[in-house]
Amino acid sequence: MLFLLFWRFTKFGGPIHQRLVQDVAYAIARFIQKEGSFINYYMPKYGHLKELHRAIKMCERALVSANPIVTSLGSLQQPYVYTSEMGDCAPFLSNYDTKSAAGVLFNNKHYNLCPWSINILPDCRNVVFNTAKVYIKRG
């Protein structure tokens, strides 16, 4: 498992806080999904988050065009679907269940959502990023 070290104010001699890189990617994707700004947060330069930002950049025209349409795919699953007047479509498929994966049907296509994850589909069909999977480029 990969961990990221985050600098926080800690009590001298206190514990050093670490978070799984998947948790950080989930938090960033959730921030963008819920209409967060592209600026004003610190992004450690790790491959997994670099791939997340590549996926978000692919969704840019849809993200900046309108507020998302949020519906339900299940009891703890939701798509946040951004669309533009030019026909761009970028859904963020979310599974808020922390323990169980979920199979969902979105736009007549089946997707398997890992527990506590967000899948990004910049073309409304193909998953290019899943916050629960670590993307590491090898040599």
Give the Cα separation of 78 and 113 in Å (integer): 11
pLDDT at position 134: 81
One-letter amino acid of 104: V
- When pLDDT is averaged across residues 5-31 and rounded to a whole number, the result is 68
pLDDT at position 78: 98
Give the Cα separation of 96 and 75 in Å (integer): 9
Are the C-beta atoms of residues 119 and 111 closer than 8 Å to each other?
Answer: yes
The two structure tokens encoding residue 29? 């994707």
The residues near 129 (Cβ < 8 Å, ≥ 6 apart) are: 29, 51, 52, 54, 55, 119, 120, 135
Phi, psi of 131 (to 5 degrees): -60, -20
The two structure tokens encoding residue 50? 């670099």
pLDDT at position 68: 94
pLDDT class of 139 with cuts at 50, 70, 90? low
pLDDT tens-digit readout, 72-111? 999 999 999 999 999 999 999 999 999 999 999 999 999 9
